[in-house]
Structure 1
Amino acid sequence: MSNSDTGQLLSVTVAELLPYLRRYARALSGSQETGDRYAAATLEALLEDRSVFEEGHTHKVALFKTFHAIWVSTGAPSGSAESGITAR
């Protein structure tokens, strides 16, 4: 398989997984806009360094692993403060 074929296969695979990544990013960030920014940052990181796909992981695991590396590095909250009746 040529480098071009591999890149095309990777593009198709990532495109199929993108809705799941966006949904997950939205769930963690709390908004679609912020989640989409994280998803875009993930795609940009993968364009810069595709080595994560060569580590023996499935493409899905590699994609979400990259997302989590970005999520953690930005200092994103892992949980929200209690509100409502539980905060009282």
Structure 2
Amino acid sequence: MGGNIVPGEKTGEGETMRQVVLHPGEDGYWVAECPSLLGCISQGKTKQEAVTNIKEAIEGYIVSLEEDGLPVPEEHFEALVVAI
């Protein structure tokens, strides 16, 4: 996939880009969170499994909002890495 992708923008395949944050959980699993969708969190034994699971969670979250007639939040999250 080339070029710049704007968060929340549809890609050529009809997919919407969402930022996901991965971090190791205390139980040895990987935790995946989608900051633009409050409370949308999943996990997996591996990073790839966590990514697969959060994609499914994001899809379900958006479907639920749409079924309830609620607006789908736009992607707006920016991540920074800060040296301390």
TM-score, length basis structure 2: 0.34
The structure where helix makes up a greater share of residues is 1
The structure where strand makes up a greater share of residues is 2
Which of structures 1 and 2 has the larger relative contact order (alpha carbons within 8 angstroms, sep 6+)?
1
